[in-house]
Structure 1
């Protein structure tokens, strides 16, 4: 039952992302500064969508003598195409967001992790193309690469796709402009706190 609920939530996020993408909007970007990460995988996703469309047309030709089977396969094929486009839409419309207190790290409709700036011990640019799963680490590659590493002073809770809690001490992610995100994140972490009684 838990797996079914997780799958339904994920599908709803994908279709909500499609709606946001079609209407030219993004999710949560009014709360802070957005940093995209979808550029490195856009071409691959569009290529995959094209292959799915070609497969849909081909199956339509092969199954034209079996109208019931053709209808079922057509529905499944169209749904698959929408899923692929929805995944890309989720990456585009759900960017990382940096505000004065948190970095909101996202990865399409699967990951939405808030990391308090006060809990970040170090941030650096680090290009990695190989990621080995390890306890306390979260890797969010795009195009099989991450280029930013966050070391956390305090473990940050993260819930997996199926709802299992993990305590993270290191997060690796990708950003289209990794240098600017590292610069902005470093500046936000070292900015003085507003003085009580003064605006700001």
Structure 2
């Protein structure tokens, strides 16, 4: 991938989390159509994000006092500190406004503003509650696993009958047969996905097979 392409994708990512801040303030969600179900996952990181935001604000105030006699340096540092606070809040805003989405045809799994994996319901072989701490992505038996963790853990595992293509932040494409992601209410998400499969003529018994 060229440097220009990578920079464009990073700029697009920055635009998405900035937009998420506005939608967060407006208490709206992005990409959830009427009739679709939003599946939240931001709760697990909320305490960490707000704690980090508090630390950043305290640092901003402290540096403002220390650099009061150096206006140029003060303005530069203030800009960087405010940007850092917005970026930290943007992490939470993106997770809140861009939930996982269950539609009639597919399950869309999101990692804030960073990535999205679309899984047709007809390709789901099994879905289950499965609390795991994340680790480096592994390959096994020719099947690749994609993880979308929150707070260092995932709580739902989806196994597929056919692979799907997942695109990373910088554009790397990978073929996956198993996706692990976090949901605030893993059991409710599993039940909802199974109901969606059943509505399409799938069998919940097959979905429970691990």
TM-score over 0.5 (shorter chain):
yes
> Aligned residues, how many?
193
Cα RMSD between the aligned structures? Answer: 1.1
Equivalent pair of 2:98/2:112 in contact (CA under 8 Å): yes
How far apart in 1 are the matches of 2:200 and 2:100?
A: 23
Q: Please state whether the residue corresponding to 1:30 is helix, strand or coil.
A: coil
Alignment TM-score, normalising by the size of structure 2:
0.89
Counterpart CA distance in 2 for 1:130 and 1:110 is 17
| Other-structure match for 1:184 | 192
- Residue of structure 1 in register with 2:146 after alignment: 138
SS at match of 2:162: strand
Counterpart in the other structure of 1:11: 14
Corresponding residue number in structure 1 for 2:208? none
The gaps in structure 2 that reach 5 residues or longer are: 202-210
Structure 1 gap ranges (5+): 194-200
How many Å apart are 1:192 and its aligned residue? Answer: 4.4
Matched, 1:175 2:159: no
- For 1:2 and 1:156, the matched residues in 2 are separated by 23
- Counterpart of 1:22? 25
Q: TM-score, normalised by structure 1?
A: 0.93
Are the equivalent residues in 1 in contact too, given 2:42–2:96 (CA < 8 A)? yes
Are 1:73 and 2:77 an aligned pair? yes
SS of corresponding position for 1:127: strand
